[in-house]
Structure 1
Amino acid sequence: MAVVAVAVVIALLAAFLTPLAVYLARRASPPPPPRRNLPPGSLGLPLIGQSLSLLRAMRRNTADRWLQDRIDRYGPVSKLSLFGAPTVLVAGPAANKVVFHHEALAPKQPRSLAAIIGRRNILELVGDDHRRVRGAILQFLRPDMVRRYVGKIDGEVRRHLAARWAGRRTVAVFPLMKTLAFDVIATLLFGLDRGAIREQLADAFDGMHEGLWTVPVDLPFTPFRRGLMASARARRLVEATVREKAAKLEHGESSPSDDLISCLLSLRDGGRQLLTEEEIVDNSVLALVAGHDTSAVLLTFMLRHLANDPATLAAMAQGKNSTLPSPDEHSEHEEIARGKRDGEALTWEDVAKMKLSWRVAQETLRMVPPVLGSFRRAPVDVEFEGYTIPRGWQIFWSPSVTHMDPAIFHEPTKFEPSRFDGTAAAAAYSFVPFGGGPRICPGMELARVETLVTAHYLVRHFRWKLCLGEEKNTFLRDPMPTPHDGLPVELDHIAPLC
């Protein structure tokens, strides 16, 4: 009985003293921190959030309106959930500057994209790893290296136009531009000859696209699963190519300047290979995706806009528009052609003269940026515009928000290449098709050369007219801008290809 009595007393004391101790501890400790000021908005349903709504808008070509509606409702900072993660949408030049330069922000792509491309690509790496891998890639893509490859690009463009455009009455532009972009990448970045391996890589690459921007549900018959399977096929082909290139380098049968993979394999740090095989494979796959999509979209929509702007097209090709700013730019492609012998390839110096054509390309990128938006991740709490972006959340920004802002670009729906003539430059962090800051697209110079070389031969040898009526002359995002029926055009051949 005594033992029971003692136990009862101890229990009573514990019941009494425990709340008292908790009370005194709370009195002695500082008050809990105030609740973080989260941006307005809703995270929506678990996992799905607003992902399906955004994807629907992209496929209906209303994504710009979807983004602007959120901005009109919540302001330039709002919370939502995209592709399985809590997200903060930020908009405007100030937001772009923060995204590009804030030291605390780390890159963050949708889980679907990282899983399909590979987790050691430069979009995912941070700190020293990012600087190391990006620096290695720039060994191949810096301007003084790209100038060496103008002749190779010229050869691919002329071969493509002669095989797939010459003699045709109508063509679908977008599929052909995708083929051309793939051929340039396969030659320049992978060093692949035409044949079975190249065709297998092209097939696997097409399958990867389906799963890049999807809800990352790995179940049979989902787009994500199909993307993963295609990625596995592509990676096996790239891995075999990497091993083949390594053997050729070891036996002195190739040069580091032959292609991107050979360049990356040849880089050393203290006698050891600078990049791992996984990093070479992941970043080769990334280069395939990024370089293919941006170039194909840009060239397709340049043709689309020029079909409706004969004055600008004439100024590029023959100098018939007297309203352009200076006589030496009236006929840039005609003047370049006059200085070439039949069959002679373009040079870096020729490309540098194509100023009007690049303004046309810039205006196309402004109106139809190939990428709707990109992501960053907050490793720590980040304060912006009076709101807290919590640690672990992702941040989404979109170039079209500033590109189509009438306060930045007057009459933004009007195609006006003179916006980029050097005297009417937009405000900083407003024209951002290639991103900005330390993570600006490393392939920007290569894309410029490929675009201008292709434009030179197109405007010199062809004229084109859109086949579809205005009601069908539209496009959707899947996830890249995709014109209706591939943008069919009727061709007029004005000069034979040499």
Structure 2
Amino acid sequence: MDFSLLLALTAIALPVLLHLLTRANKPRHGTRAKLPPGSLGLPLIGQSLGLLRAMRANTAERWIQGRVDRYGPVSKLSLFGAPTVLLTGPAANKFVFFSGALAMQQPRSVQRILGERSLIELTGADQRRIRGALTEFLKPDMLRLYVGRIDGEVRRHLDAEWAGRGAVTVLPLMKRLTFDIISSLLFGLERGAARDALAADFKHLIDGMWAVPVDLPFTAFHRSLRASARARRVIAGITRETKARLERGEASRSSDLIACLLSLTDGSGAPQLSEEEIVDSSMVTLIAGHDTSSILMTFMVRHVASDPDTLAAMVQEHDEIAESKGDGEALAWEDLAKMKFTWRVALEILRMVPPIFGNFRRATQDIEYDGYVIPKGWQVFWTASVTHMDAAIFHEPAKFDPSRFKDGSPATAPPCSFVAFGGGPRICPGMEFARIETLVTMHYLVRRFRWKLLCKEDTFARDPMPSPLHGLPIQLESKSSH
């Protein structure tokens, strides 16, 4: 964003925000608790630029820890124009995930791009209704039906984009793969011009989600809004077509997400979700199922390139599975249960490089926590790295050790310490879907290819999700026997 525009916006907003923040900084009449320590900084800007700079320089964990060292596990600051309380530690995570007085909170830019009736915006009964509808599609009984389709998408992608190439850039390829998988399972959208057009719009949509929400022609936010409008029209059209197919008996509840959501009715037989809610839910699911899984698989590729022991153990696990199947036979639900070591590797990657650095909640009433008051309307910010990299919770946290997750969860860690998927009533409903997608992809990658990193510098930045240097270019070699 142009700096002069930022200054102009600051000048316009300064008097109003100063008044609001001054009022918000005072505890409400009658409360005996006090505000957390810390400073709200400059109006509008607060500590936002400092955090964003730290994320892009891959020093955000140190930035957060510096605040903890200075103020303790509870402190106040201002992020993205709103007074905020930073909460850290397992007890704080549990409070954030389970408190009924905290609602989901996203930047206004995200809300405008994804819609007003999405899972991340709703509260109370509406939130439970939408979440229940998505959970219906994402439960194991439904997902086991889709393993073969995911298998086919992965194999076609590797044949088209990896096989025969001397070098590839991993992150953009993983993003396209996860987009293809989820657009097939969500919308029944097969390969072709319509899927390619939606993929192009989706890229512009993502670019503006965390931008300053200024709707001017030259801004990323403006481009993102236009892309969002086009994507929403496509999804609305698919919704109407799917509804007609269901009425003609040409589709069933298990065809895809849209069909599943359209098939849900209440006690009187009326649809549970409106078309707007289906479109908004599809937008959120498309993003949630796209970025996080592609980042996880990219960082798995990055890690095993320099960890031959881990790679060898993964190859052995997947070779044994392949030997038990017929030539060319697709993976099945039962095969995924045998990929225990690979999933432990994935969980350890998620501990060390969580795709979601942190997230926001909003106080719906005055709340007391640990002797401090969080005023109604303030944001609450939690981060994964504080507990993930705490030596008191995970021994030698900087060491890669998949055995921490031998039983699928860290045995010695207190509850709400490993929070890569969040926790509580709002734990990621797509966790099992991400597991299937990751395991199927890694099965074919480690059996079909060898690779080595082409960047000498092994680092990454967050913007806001982690991205390896240059998208992780690798030198690729096919294994001729596979």
Normalised by the length of structure 2, the TM-score is 0.91
Residue number among 346, 350, 355 corresponding to 1:361 in the alignment: 346
Query: By how many angstroms is 1:221 displaced?
Result: 2.3
Query: By how many angstroms is 1:286 displaced?
Result: 0.3
* Conserved 8 A contact 2:33-2:368: no
Query: Which position in structure 2 is the counterpart of 1:123?
Result: 120
| Unaligned stretches of 5+ residues in structure 1 | 1-30, 319-331
Deviation by residue 1:118-149 (Cα, 9 ceiling, x = unmatched):
12111111111111111111111001111111
Moved more, 73-82 or 430-439: 73-82
Residue number among 162, 183, 187 corresponding to 1:186 in the alignment: 183
Residue number among 285, 296, 299 corresponding to 2:297 in the alignment: 299
Query: By how many angstroms is 1:224 displaced?
Result: 2.4
State the alpha-carbon separation in 2 of the partners of residues 401 and 115 from structure 1: 30
Residue number among 392, 399, 419 corresponding to 1:407 in the alignment: 392
Query: Which position in structure 2 is the counterpart of 1:428?
Result: 415
Deviation by residue 1:2-29 (Cα, 9 ceiling, x = unmatched):
xxxxxxxxxxxxxxxxxxxxxxxxxxxx
State the alpha-carbon separation in 2 of the partners of residues 34 and 446 from structure 1: 45
* Conserved 8 A contact 1:107-1:376: yes
State the alpha-carbon separation in 1 of the partners of residues 211 and 366 from structure 2: 27
Does 2:366 match 1:381? Answer: yes
Residue number among 278, 281, 289 corresponding to 2:279 in the alignment: 281
State the alpha-carbon separation in 2 of the partners of residues 232 and 55 from structure 1: 27
Query: By how many angstroms is 1:386 displaced?
Result: 0.8
Residue number among 208, 211, 226 corresponding to 2:208 in the alignment: 211
State the alpha-carbon separation in 1 of the partners of residues 397 and 345 from structure 2: 14
Query: Which position in structure 2 is the counterpart of 1:398?
Result: 383
State the alpha-carbon separation in 1 of the partners of residues 31 and 324 from structure 2: 71
Q: Residue 409 of structure 1: SS of its match in structure 2? A: coil
Deviation by residue 1:460-491 (Cα, 9 ceiling, x = unmatched):
1111111110xx22111122111111101111
* Conserved 8 A contact 1:246-1:265: yes
State the alpha-carbon separation in 2 of the partners of residues 244 and 101 from structure 1: 39
Query: Which position in structure 2 is the counterpart of 1:252?
Result: 249
Moved more, 358-367 or 426-435: 426-435
Query: By how many angstroms is 1:268 displaced?
Result: 1.0
State the alpha-carbon separation in 2 of the partners of residues 463 and 55 from structure 1: 36
Does 2:437 match 1:450? Answer: yes
Over the residues paired in the alignment, what is the CA RMSD in angstroms? 1.5
Query: By how many angstroms is 1:35 displaced?
Result: 6.7
Query: Which position in structure 2 is the counterpart of 1:492?
Result: 477
Deviation by residue 1:155-201 (Cα, 9 ceiling, x = unmatched):
11111111111111111111110010001011111110112221111
Do the aligned partners of residues 34 and 96 (structure 1) sit closer, same or farther apart at CA in structure 2, a change above 3 Å counting?
A: closer
* Conserved 8 A contact 2:33-2:371: no
| Unaligned stretches of 5+ residues in structure 2 | 1-27
Q: Residue 280 of structure 2: SS of its match in structure 1? A: helix
Does 2:229 match 1:232? Answer: yes
* Conserved 8 A contact 1:84-1:215: no
State the alpha-carbon separation in 1 of the partners of residues 391 and 239 from structure 2: 48
Spell out structure 1 runs of 4+ moving beyond 6 A: none
The 5 Å alignment of 1:159-174 reads: 159-174=156-171
Moved more, 221-230 or 121-130: 221-230
State the alpha-carbon separation in 2 of the partners of residues 200 and 170 from structure 1: 26
Query: By how many angstroms is 1:496 displaced?
Result: 5.0
State the alpha-carbon separation in 2 of the partners of residues 275 and 451 from structure 1: 30
Query: Which position in structure 2 is the counterpart of 1:88?
Result: 85
Does 2:343 match 1:346? Answer: no
> Which amino acid is 2:115 matched to?
G
Residue number among 427, 441, 466 corresponding to 2:428 in the alignment: 441
> Which amino acid is 1:170 matched to?
A
Do the aligned partners of residues 447 and 372 (structure 1) sit closer, same or farther apart at CA in structure 2, a change above 3 Å counting?
A: same
Query: Which position in structure 2 is the counterpart of 1:27?
Result: none
State the alpha-carbon separation in 2 of the partners of residues 229 and 83 from structure 1: 23
State the alpha-carbon separation in 1 of the partners of residues 390 and 307 from structure 2: 22
Residue number among 197, 202, 213 corresponding to 2:199 in the alignment: 202
Residue number among 292, 297, 308 corresponding to 2:306 in the alignment: 308
Greater C-alpha Rg: 1
Query: By how many angstroms is 1:425 displaced?
Result: 4.1
State the alpha-carbon separation in 2 of the partners of residues 46 and 36 from structure 1: 24
Residue number among 366, 390, 403 corresponding to 1:418 in the alignment: 403
State the alpha-carbon separation in 2 of the partners of residues 419 and 106 from structure 1: 32
Deviation by residue 1:25-62 (Cα, 9 ceiling, x = unmatched):
xxxxxx96367511111222222222222222221112
> Which amino acid is 1:364 matched to?
I
Query: Which position in structure 1 is the counterpart of 2:149?
Result: 152
Q: Residue 101 of structure 2: SS of its match in structure 1? A: coil
Query: By how many angstroms is 1:115 displaced?
Result: 1.4
State the alpha-carbon separation in 2 of the partners of residues 202 and 35 from structure 1: 53
> Which amino acid is 2:292 matched to?
T
Does 2:239 match 1:242? Answer: yes
Query: Which position in structure 2 is the counterpart of 1:10?
Result: none
How many residue pairs get aligned? The number is 452
Residue number among 265, 285, 296 corresponding to 1:268 in the alignment: 265
State the alpha-carbon separation in 2 of the partners of residues 241 and 218 from structure 1: 28
Q: Residue 44 of structure 2: SS of its match in structure 1? A: coil
State the alpha-carbon separation in 2 of the partners of residues 359 and 399 from structure 1: 18
Normalised by the length of structure 1, the TM-score is 0.88
